[in-house]
């Protein structure tokens, strides 16, 4: 006897699943029960596939988990992780059905600690903003032609070389004063703030550049210090912030009077372009020369015109006497012409003058003519209306039922008053009313005949 025959079947209705069905159910259960979350750990076994997807493990001292970050997600990452990097990933727990392996589907990745630093950054930013240190109204305009430029940065920083290169290209003769300070590491924030305060106390420059090259959030953290922000806000001269790259933002950027995306851009914003100024100067010189030439030509023409108008007083007196004589002749001619015109107008008015009796006769003739036209109109309209009335009376007689009855016809009605038009509507024994031209009679139907 087989030993399995002795084992009772306690679940006779339990279905049998395939491995694929089991893994699919496990994946759905995981994804429905575990939400999207942040996981911290050390990267190991990192591999970039030909498809662009990232495959790696995330581990700590006692456990590890497989992770995948597809190309559509990792293309937005700020860096490519390497084995040994301590990172934080935002991921959705799931199950890879083909191998039955538990894994994390990463949607975002950042260096470990960056989230906490960013949270600290936001809190400090809100606090300082509430105090008005970032108020745009307080921002000052940079001088167009600074006499001296101050730079707060490290002497060994690449940012200093970029700034000096840009200044030598744009304005080689502009004096520069360096206020050296570390820009990274422990205590760098306090030293940067001290350098800014030193520049303000010495008052040696017109514009102050606070700059350093790009880096991670940790590398730029010194420029997020409260002391640095307050020193920039209290600076007596305008401050230009050129920290990091175009995508990097620090609290020093918000406190500065002007934020530049790079140290080179900060130097370009704070200094005038010598070549552009020379071009503008040359353009203005050409405009001035052209204006002077036009003015000289205009004044020479005006001088010639005045010279032609210059006349001897005796000649002017003779011309005035001639003009006076001509005006006297025109006055005499105008007086004679006006007198003749008035005589003619009076004669025309005398001809048009009519006595009242003539007016009355003319109006009487007009009234008689209107009276005659009125009588003719009344007579013609009365005759036409009589003819219309006769035609309407004749039509009314033709349509009058009494006239039809007078010619020997009659109207047959049922007891309810309905007019009988067809013998089929009557049955033997029905009572009917017959209306004649003179009076009416009641009858009883004995029989009917159809046409």
114-122 average pLDDT score:
73
Same domain, yes or no: 32 and 164: no
241 and 155 in a single domain? The answer is yes
Residue 321 lies in a domain: no
In a domain, 23, yes or no: yes
pLDDT category of residue 12 using cuts at 50, 70 and 90: low
pLDDT attached to residue 8: 53
Among candidates 104, 37, 115, which has minimal Cα distance to 67?
104
Tell me, yes or no, whether 77 lies in a domain.
yes
Confidence grade of residue 114 (pLDDT, cut at 50, 70, 90): low
pLDDT, tens digit, 9 for 90 and up, residues 191-210: 999 999 999 999 999 999 99
Tell me the per-residue pLDDT of 251-306, one tens digit each, with 9 for 90 and over.
Answer: 999 999 999 989 999 999 988 877 777 788 888 999 999 899 899 888 888 888 88
Out of 75, 97, 112, a domain closes at 112
At residue 113, the pLDDT reads 67
- Please report whether residue 332 resides in a domain: no
Task: Kindly state the average pLDDT of the residues 54-75.
Answer: 93
Residue 419 inside a domain? The answer is yes
* 403 or 279: which leads in pLDDT: 279
CATH number for the domain spanning 97: value is 2.40.50.140
Asked if the model's pLDDT at residue 26 lies above 70, the reply is yes
| Same domain assignment for residues 241 and 143 | yes
Confidence of residue 18 (pLDDT cuts 50, 70, 90): confident
For the chain, how many structural domains are there in total? 4
Average pLDDT of the segment spanning 212-224: 83
> Which residue among 97, 112, 127 closes a domain?
112
Q: Is 263:242 a contact under the CB 8 Å cutoff?
A: yes
Q: Single out the residue of 105, 85, 78 nearest to residue 42, CA to CA.
A: 85
In the prediction, which pLDDT does 105 show?
92
- How much is the average pLDDT of 161-166? 92
Same domain assignment for residues 263 and 303:
no
Q: How much is the pTM?
A: 0.47
> What's the rounded mean pLDDT across residues 122-140?
90
| 74 and 26 co-located in one domain | yes
pLDDT band for position 1 (50/70/90)? very low
In a domain, 236, yes or no: yes
Query: How large a percentage of the chain has pLDDT more than 90?
Result: 32
pLDDT at 4 over 50: no
Q: What is the pLDDT of residues 40-50, one digit of tens each?
A: 899 999 999 99
Contact criterion met (CB below 8 Å) for 226 and 166: no
Domain finish residue from 221, 246, 272? 272
Least confident of 6-20, 24-38, 251-265: 6-20
Measured from the Cβ of residue 318, the count of other Cβ atoms closer than 10 Å reads: 12
Q: Is the dihedral of CA 25, 27, 28, 32 positive or negative?
A: positive
In a shared domain, residues 96 and 158: no
Is 410 a residue whose pLDDT tops 50? yes
Note whether 132 and 260 are same-domain residues.
Answer: yes
State how far the Cα of 240 lies from the Cα of 233, in Å rounded to an integer.
Answer: 11
Tell me if residue 52 falls in helix, strand or coil.
Answer: coil
CATH code, 165: 3.40.50.10550
Do residues 147 and 54 share a domain? no
Is residue 152 a part of any domain in this protein?
Answer: yes
In tens, the pLDDT along 355-381 reads 677 778 888 888 888 888 888 888 777
- Within a 10 A sphere around the Cβ of 264, how many other Cβ atoms? 19
Q: Give yes or no: residues 202 and 102 share one domain.
A: no
* pLDDT confidence of residue 64: 93
Range of lowest pLDDT (53-62, 191-200, 250-259, 405-414): 405-414
**What is the rounded average pLDDT for all residues in the chain?**
85
Lowest mean pLDDT among 2-6, 94-98, 289-293, 345-349: 2-6
| Burial class of residue 180 in the structure, from the number of CB atoms within 10 Å of its CB (0-12 exposed, 13-18 middle, 19+ buried) | middle
Is 364 part of any domain? no
| Reported confidence tier of residue 221, pLDDT bands at 50, 70, 90 | confident
Q: Which domain holds residue 285?
A: 276-307
Same domain, 104 and 152: no
Whether residue 225 sits in one domain with residue 150: yes
- Same-domain status, 128 and 260: yes
Model pLDDT, residue 361:
82
User: So what's the pLDDT on residue 192?
Assistant: 94
* C-alpha closest to that of 212 among 191, 242, 185, 186: 242
């Amino acid at each position: 006897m087989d030993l399995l025959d002795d084992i009772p079947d306690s679940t006779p209705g339990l279905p049998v699943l395939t491995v694929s069905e089991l893994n699919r159910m496990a994946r759905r259960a995981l994804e429905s029960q575990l939400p999207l979350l942040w996981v911290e750990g050390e990267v190991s076994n990192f591999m970039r596939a030909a498809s662009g997807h990232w495959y790696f493990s995330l581990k700590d001292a006692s456990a590890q988990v497989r992770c995948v970050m597809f190309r559509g997600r990792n293309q937005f990452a700020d860096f490519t992780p390497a084995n040994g990097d301590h990172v934080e990933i935002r991921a959705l727990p799931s199950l890879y059905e083909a191998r039955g392996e538990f894994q994390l589907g990463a949607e975002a990745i950042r260096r470990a600690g960056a989230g906490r630093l960013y949270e600290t950054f936001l809190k400090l930013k809100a606090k300082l903003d509430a105090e008005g240190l970032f108020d745009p109204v307080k921002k000052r305009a940079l001088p167009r032609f600074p006499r001296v430029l101050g730079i707060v940065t490290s002497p060994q920083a690449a940012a200093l070389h970029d700034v000096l290169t840009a200044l030598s290209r744009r304005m080689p003769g502009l004096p520069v004063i360096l206020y050296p300070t570390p820009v990274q590491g422990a205590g760098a924030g306090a030293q940067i703030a001290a350098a800014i305060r030193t520049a303000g106390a010495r008052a040696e420059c017109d514009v102050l550049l606070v700059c350093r090259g790009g880096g991670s959030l940790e590398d730029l953290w010194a420029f997020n210090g409260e002391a640095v922000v307050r020193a920039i806000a209290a600076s007596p001269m305008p401050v230009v912030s050129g920290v990091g790259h175009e995508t990097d933002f620090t609290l020093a950027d918000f406190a500065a009077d002007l934020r530049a995306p790079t140290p080179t851009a900060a130097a370009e914003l704070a200094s005038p372009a010598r070549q552009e100024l020379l071009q503008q100067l040359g353009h203005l010189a050409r405009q001035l020369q052209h204006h002077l030439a036009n003015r000289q030509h205009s004044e020479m023409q005006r001088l010639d015109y005045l010279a032609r108008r210059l006349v001897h007083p005796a000649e002017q007196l003779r011309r005035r006497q001639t003009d006076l004589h001509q005006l006297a002749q025109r006055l005499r001619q105008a007086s004679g012409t006006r007198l003749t015109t008035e005589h003619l107008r009076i004669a025309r008015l005398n001809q048009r003058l009519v006595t009242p009796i003539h007016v009355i006769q003319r109006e009487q003739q007009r009234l008689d003519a209107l009276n005659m036209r009125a009588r003719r109109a009344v007579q013609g309209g009365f005759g036409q209306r009589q003819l219309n009335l006769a035609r309407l009376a004749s039509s009314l007689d033709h349509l009058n039922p009494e006239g039809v009855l007078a010619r020997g016809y009659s109207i047959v009605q049922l007891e309810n008053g309905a007019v009988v038009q067809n013998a089929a509507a009557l049955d033997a024994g029905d009572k009917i009313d017959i209306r004649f031209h003179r009076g009416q009679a009641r009858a009883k139907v004995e029989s009917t005949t159809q046409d």
